[in-house]
Amino acid sequence: MISRSLCRRAGAAVSWNSRATMPLASKIQNPAFRAQMATTATNGATIKELPGDEAEDVLFDTLYGLRTIELNRPKKLNSLNGSMVRKIVPRMQEWTKSDMANIILLKGAGEKAMCAGGDVAELAKWNSEGPEGQQRSTDYFGLEYKLDHMIATYKKPLVALMDGITMGGGVGLSIHTPLRIATERTVFAMPETTIGFFPDVGASFFLPKMNGAVGTYLALTSDRLKGANVFYAGIATHYIHSTSLPSLEARLAELRFNDYDTLETRLSLIDSTLEEFTTGLPHDEPIQIAGAMREAIDRCFSPNSVPEIIAALEAETGETQEWAQKTLKTLHQRSPTSVYVTLRQMRLGKTWSIKETFQREHQIAAKFMRHPDFTEGVSALLIRKPEPGQPRVPPKWQPASLEDIKASDNVAEPFFEVEGEKKLGLLSEEDYTSYPHAKFSLPTESQVAQYVRRELKSRKSIVKGFVQARSGKQGIKEVVEEILGKYRINPGTLHEDLPIQLGSYRHSLISPGGPSQLYSIAVRCGECYGSLVALAKDGSEAAVSREVAGRFPLDPDSDEGFAMVSTWFNECIEKHPHTCRLPGNLTGTEVAEFPTRLVDVGTDGDLRIRLIDSRGMTGQYAALSHRWSLNPTEHFKTTRLLLDQRKAGIDIDAMPLNFQDAVKVTRKLGIQYLWIDSLCIVQDDTNDWECESAAMGQVYNHSSVTIRAAPESSRTSSKQYTGGFLCRPTGATDSPTVEIPYRKRNGELAGSWFMQPDKGATSSKIH
């Protein structure tokens, strides 16, 4: 890749700096300088410099094909204001028309910050002047969001150097660029709830797309990520030491593109160039949001109401209890209104397009400018100085605490009322529902999960596959290994080449092809290796103690089998409110929003089901996890041509047997709706597929139960299945079983437990 970069370097091209002194004639003739003179031009837009704007708060440099935007308020940590926006927008508009501008680089002056956020102290002063000042603050946010939307939809390569503090408004300038560089000095946070505001600048779009409930956690708590962890979390696309940045800028300036190169081609070349400057990840900086903490975040921040989140944190025990107590203290220090609004924002924002995101956030910001918490929060934390030797007086929020807010108060909803006549007019109509250049980021959990479900592979093969697919990109190995480890796949595995299966669902129905691998022990003996599954009889001491998780399988298509499943399901709802809770609270007053489409399974005896548009609906639904057939002609799916037909009705007998069984299970559990990816996502609609697949993790997470179906095409030849996952294979024989005495922890004998070969996981036959 180095040679590829070198072959596109400029020969004897001359570089110049826009701050250098040049003869007037040279300035006028130089196209780049004409762009500099056009700072006040608007190209039909309304953004231009105003009298009184600060001089040189933004510096623009040119080096060969590289155009640099440098925020230049280092004493204020490069905090963003209207004067800076009014300089940046016209310049970027000019560069879109210039063939000489190849790459645009965003950075901050000094070593402390790229941009610590917006200049909120100034906004708080305006708000204190009354409605006129509040409108002035609202207008500033409109200006800022127009710039953010321009960056998010820009048609030339953008690179952001997130070197130093990058928070709030600084995140808006960087997070929407295709290529984002973190260094050892990077500090990321969305600190808005600390000042009585909400995570804006497009946070509604990018935070819900983070793995699991991490985005919600960062939004509500304002927790910080530093250095390599900004990269691990997917916020940055690259991690490079700050000492390499000057050389990197020089290399970027030398890159040349063909006129016919697409934006994707240009970004790919820049991506490979950035990789040349990586020098390894710090060994003393492990992944911060990982392991038990990550699992606790998903448990505690997946609910859809603040009281549930508080209850889940209070219920944490063991190694995450200290973290949970600290997090509870943090939440109680935040603006209660901000916490409620932000949680609602995280749930609604995942369905917004990038254009809708900035328009909706502008209206939310306007309402916060009229709410007392913003001015109070900024004044208490940034403006009012404490007496010498005295601690800072905390903000006086209205309402004062989370406990003061009742469900009937409906605190958040007014912030999301759409005022059509006040919709923000953006600088372009460009729009999308998922980032178009996400491939330059590290793999997400949903991407790893989809890869694993396509084919049974070993852990080593999965990691190797991702590393090869991303051309050896730094960080791929570490992140994929962490994702696989999060799912606690094959606890006790002794041989890392054994195939693994991925499962992260709250409830799972185990198909009869063999007990779940989550209960198995991997073993190796000479050339033979495989898995043994531990089983206990219901009601035995081994089962009651929960030390042996496996159970002897019943006939899954029998009344006895369905009764057992219903018992498990109801036990989870009634006895495990924080670990196996249904989406929303258990009183039924608030439940998770439905995916875009669901299958209405009807009732027992109905011969047809139908696809429905379910966005905006709430309640319980089941989700099916299945492996697609290897033969594309056998796929039963929804296409644009078949969409209306699917909504009119689907003959159950025409569906694959696994789908028929999933409908049966859903009905038996008393659930009305079922999500099946191939039916609920329009498979030949690129926009629909990208939007819905990005939300797939949330779909499974919010389902009341996930049904994992053994793939019909994966049955072994010795066990011919005549039906779907509910049917036992014909000719199946009982596995050899070894009975083992069970001893309590005090050594007392108390019955038995059993071990069998795990037929579904064995790779080389073990007897």
Q: What sections of 120-238 are H helices per DSSP?
A: 120-127, 131-152, 169-174, 203-206, 214-221, 228-232
Residue 509: which of 726, 302, 215 has the closest Cα? 726
CA dist., res. 582 & res. 578, Å (int): 9
Alpha-carbon distances, residue 497 vs 454, 461, 490, 756 (angstroms): 18, 8, 12, 21
Beta sheet of 650-651, edge-to-edge order: 508-509, 705-708, 622-625, 673-676, 597-600, 608-613, 650-651
CA-to-CA distance for 265 and 127, rounded, in angstroms? 46
Q: How many CB atoms lie within 10 A of CB 386?
A: 10
Is 417 in a helix, a strand, or coil?
Answer: coil
Spatial neighbors of 310 by CB under 8 A, at least 6 apart, are 328, 331, 402
Q: 559 catalytic, yes or no? A: no
Compute the distance between CA of residue 208 and CA of residue 236 in angstroms, rounded to an integer. 16
| DSSP-assigned states of every residue in 642-661 | THHHHHH-EEGGGS-HHHHH
CA distance 735 to 738: 10
CA distance 210 to 333: 25
Tell me, yes or no, if 751 is annotated catalytic: no
> CB under 8 Å to 244, separation ≥6 — which residues?
277, 279
Q: Position 426: which residue type?
A: L
Which one-letter DSSP state was computed for residue 720?
B
Nearest to 683 by CA among 632, 647, 619, 732: 632
Structure tokens at 464: 């190797």
For residue 546, give the nearest of 758, 748, 745, 689 by alpha carbon.
Answer: 745
Q: Give just the sign of the alpha carbon dihedral 663, 667, 669, 671.
A: positive
Task: Round to whole Å and give the CA distance between 698 and 706.
Answer: 12
Containing 623, the helix (H) or strand (E) segment is: strand 622-625
At position 400, the amino acid (one-letter code) is A
Nearest to 395 by CA among 381, 383, 408, 405: 381
- Catalytic, 387? Answer no
Tell me the Cα Rg of the chain: 29
Q: In 314-473, where do the E strands start and end?
A: 457-458
Note if 192 is an active site residue: yes
φ and ψ at residue 168, rounded to 5 degrees: 50, -115
Please answer whether residues 664 and 726 qualify as being in contact, where contact means their C-beta atoms are separated by less than 8 angstroms: yes
3-state secondary structure of 74: helix
Neighbours of 20 (CB within 10 A): 8
Kind and range of the H or E element at 58?
strand 58-63
Chain centroid offset of residue 699 CA: 13
Ranges of beta strands (E only) in 583-732 are 597-600, 608-613, 622-625, 650-651, 673-676, 705-708
Considering the candidates 94, 144, 163, 192, report the single residue annotated as catalytic.
192
From the candidates 65, 82, 142, 169, which is the catalytic residue?
Answer: 169
Closest CA to 19 of 68, 77, 91: 68
Nearest to 228 by CA among 261, 194, 187: 187
Q: Which of 119, 148, 200, 249 is catalytic?
A: 200
Q: Is 354 helix (H, G, I), strand (E, B) or coil?
A: helix
Concatenated DSSP letters for 724-740?
STTSPPBT--PPP-EEE
Give, in order, the Cα–Cα distances in Å from 161 to each of 108, 154, 236, 307, 614.
8, 17, 9, 39, 41
Find the catalytic residue in 65, 82, 108, 118: 118
Catalytically annotated residues: 118, 169, 192, 200
